[in-house]
Structure 1
């Protein structure tokens, strides 16, 4: 049996459609439901089981052969940190009970990681700065990068350089009380005149990178040693030139399949092995002087638009990989 741990979405549905086509049984933990209940865990010399329940059906995770983790985590009904907060008002007791819940979830996650797994991490992202360091080690070009904590340093950098700034880690999405996104963190150009207006000297650690002269961007989906590249001509639109996620829905960026050099694919494979990831979405820029410059890897990055624009049928490939694990 296959276990899918994901959020609800069109891409996941397509993978499940292919599993249905191949008549492969599966279950899914979704962020949109609260349907699963942890029954019990048994560990002994002669037996091992992690039993869960959905509706009237009992499932032993021991029967799981393959796992796909994509934008999701494990949640059981009545077993959350907030549930514990309602049980006890004494802080020390609450912290102790929450620690025990984390241990239960940590055990289950580690157990599932021991299976044949795609996206074998329950972390939603990896350290961007570490990735840049790894990329440098495998021979990839990376943008000149700074993390600054002083305004004077930022002013010095911007005086003679074209720079951009973005989140050091995950880009923030701020929501209002109704759950609507009211603020998004995008990559933005930094101008020297702006930095001269900053009053305080001490800054929160801020990431700055050289502004690349783009020929086009690359989104490369990686799956178990193979790369599926797509070119994005974001620089042709002022709205998307700095950050293509500022989508122009009226006149979308042109996206098309492309090829990458063999040496670049080998470097990517080395990088992914260093990170321990067997899948992910990699962002590159091809500059006007024909350098491939690595930006980042998102272990759970969107790939549906890559699959559709390039006719790669990535959802089918993921389903087939999972089936081969069973």
Structure 2
């Protein structure tokens, strides 16, 4: 039985599930709003929600896409008993998660949210070319129009009551008079084009994104121009770059993820890796069939 942990309306998950149905493989999909209770029967552990119920020893492989396993915590009137039982429940939940993560898996809930600063330090140690970066609380030593700013955290989406906001990469073009929260600055690289690579189980599929000729997408291709989209084509990274990707992903203990690069002259600048990043566009534009690759890997 295949266990898929994802968000309710995640499109990539739906595409992989279509392949699993076609391949006649049994699966369970866990949504982010499900809450499970841990139970036992005949000395076997099973988890149950209003939507799903399964014995954990029936699971043969796990795909952690997004979201996570949530468990119901029982409350007790006596404070001392409640503290004790809360710890008791914590370790039981921890065991279930650990048991499932030790199955054949594509990524894990426990380590998908990786630290961008640690990733960049690790990539530099491996030998990737990295645009110079630093943290600062003001723009005193920032070179205007030659430096970009981007979030330290991977998720650049702000959710308000009636709207959403997106944190895009931006060029620093003026000095700020006051200090601010510690911020990530990076050297602006003049690019030939960008590259989005998808990694799965030591294999790499890449796509070149020609975003540099459009003022709307030249700094951050995620500012999609839907009227005149960027040209996207299949691309083969040099062998030594792909080998470094494998080393990096092994060090980060990731079996899958999306990586971003900039091609500038004869250099490939590594930018970041996102364990749960989108790869549907890479699969679609390049006809890679990555949904099928994931389904058969599971």
What's the TM-score, normalizing by structure 1? 0.83
Counterparts of 1:93 and 1:235 in 2: how far apart (Å)? 61
Asked if 1:319 is matched to 2:298, the reply is no
Q: Structure 1 residues 174, 266: closer, same or farther in 2, change over 3 A?
A: same
Q: Structure 1 residues 57, 124: closer, same or farther in 2, change over 3 A?
A: closer
The answer to whether the Cα contact below 8 Å between 2:68 and 2:109 also exists between their aligned partners in 1 is no
Tell me which moved more, 22-31 or 106-115. Answer: 106-115
The answer to whether the Cα contact below 8 Å between 1:217 and 1:232 also exists between their aligned partners in 2 is yes
Asked if 1:51 is matched to 2:46, the reply is yes
> After superposition, what is the alpha-carbon deviation per residue over 1:22-44, rounded to whole angstroms, capped at 9, x for unaligned?
1110101112x53x6424158xx
Q: Secondary structure at the match of 1:294?
A: strand
Counterparts of 1:94 and 1:187 in 2: how far apart (Å)? 46
TM-aligned CA deviation for residue 309 of structure 1: 0.6
* Correspondence for 1:309: 285
The 5-angstrom pairing of residues 281-292 of structure 1 reads: 281-287=258-264, 289-292=265-268
1:158 aligns with one of 117, 138, 143:
143
> After superposition, what is the alpha-carbon deviation per residue over 1:11-30, rounded to whole angstroms, capped at 9, x for unaligned?
11111111111111010111
1:69 aligns with one of 36, 53, 64:
64
Asked if 1:297 is matched to 2:273, the reply is yes
Q: Secondary structure at the match of 2:216?
A: coil
Q: Structure 1 residues 55, 214: closer, same or farther in 2, change over 3 A?
A: same
Counterparts of 1:219 and 1:137 in 2: how far apart (Å)? 21
Q: Structure 1 residues 189, 97: closer, same or farther in 2, change over 3 A?
A: farther
The answer to whether the Cα contact below 8 Å between 1:4 and 1:26 also exists between their aligned partners in 2 is yes
> After superposition, what is the alpha-carbon deviation per residue over 1:171-209, rounded to whole angstroms, capped at 9, x for unaligned?
43222224x31x221111012xx21x4234xx3211110
> After superposition, what is the alpha-carbon deviation per residue over 1:83-126, rounded to whole angstroms, capped at 9, x for unaligned?
86xx88x8x99877765554443322211111100113434421
* Correspondence for 1:268: 245
TM-aligned CA deviation for residue 221 of structure 1: 0.1
1:217 aligns with one of 194, 202, 220:
194
Counterparts of 2:169 and 2:276 in 1: how far apart (Å)? 19
The 5-angstrom pairing of residues 170-249 of structure 1 reads: 170-178=154-162, 180-181=163-164, 183-191=165-173, 194-195=174-175, 197-200=176-179, 203-249=180-226
Counterparts of 1:177 and 1:94 in 2: how far apart (Å)? 35
TM-aligned CA deviation for residue 141 of structure 1: 0.5
Asked if 1:106 is matched to 2:94, the reply is yes
Q: Secondary structure at the match of 2:141?
A: helix
Q: Secondary structure at the match of 1:130?
A: helix
Counterparts of 2:187 and 2:81 in 1: how far apart (Å)? 49
1:133 aligns with one of 121, 129, 132:
121
Counterparts of 1:22 and 1:314 in 2: how far apart (Å)? 15
* Correspondence for 1:6: 6
TM-aligned CA deviation for residue 52 of structure 1: 2.0
Tell me which moved more, 300-309 or 47-56. Answer: 47-56
Q: Secondary structure at the match of 1:143?
A: coil
Counterparts of 2:249 and 2:40 in 1: how far apart (Å)? 34
* Correspondence for 1:168: 152
Structure with the bigger percentage of helix: 1
Counterparts of 1:56 and 1:187 in 2: how far apart (Å)? 40
What's the TM-score, normalizing by structure 2? 0.90
The answer to whether the Cα contact below 8 Å between 1:69 and 1:122 also exists between their aligned partners in 2 is no
